[in-house]
Amino acid sequence: MPLSPAQLAESFHQTNARLAFLLDSLLPDVATYVATNVAPSAAPEPSRTLETSLTPSHKPTPRAATPQQMAALLSELMRAGQRLRSLPSEKDAELEQELSEYRKQVERLRALLPSIQQTLLGERARLERERAQVVSAAEWACRSRLTL
């Protein structure tokens, strides 16, 4: 049985809240970031969001996304996709508002994805360097045991 516009609006409202939480969890704490990385003259106005107020050189790099965070994002998008395919032709104002908010969250995710990818590539490089260091230390330990 298809959901009513009010039920769909409530469902999208919950999805929007979960997406906002997940996307926020990928960014460092804004107040701490601004206080430690941005000159006072470039700090965002309290009434504006971080994404719209900081210049690209001042925007924080997202944290490395965990597999659980990425799975949760994908799960939310898949569930919302199913509901989007079953939207009624007649939408009330509340549903339109929630769909607009959903679009903003998806656009926000789209804007964050390149930064998330860069962060994950940097994390991969760091892990490779650490792995090479451990291998080198293990080889040194083996060689030093042979000389004793």
Distance CA 95, CA 7 (A): 9
- What is the pLDDT confidence band of residue 39, given thresholds at 50, 70 and 90? low
- What is the pLDDT confidence band of residue 2, given thresholds at 50, 70 and 90? confident
Q: Could you identify the residue written with the tokens 């504006």?
A: 48
Count of CB atoms situated within 10 Å of the CB of 43: 15
- What is the pLDDT confidence band of residue 47, given thresholds at 50, 70 and 90? very low
pTM of this prediction exceeds 0.85: no
For 5, 98, 147, the CA distances from 119, given in Å and listed in that order, are 39, 31, 42
Does 32 score more than 60 pLDDT? Answer: no
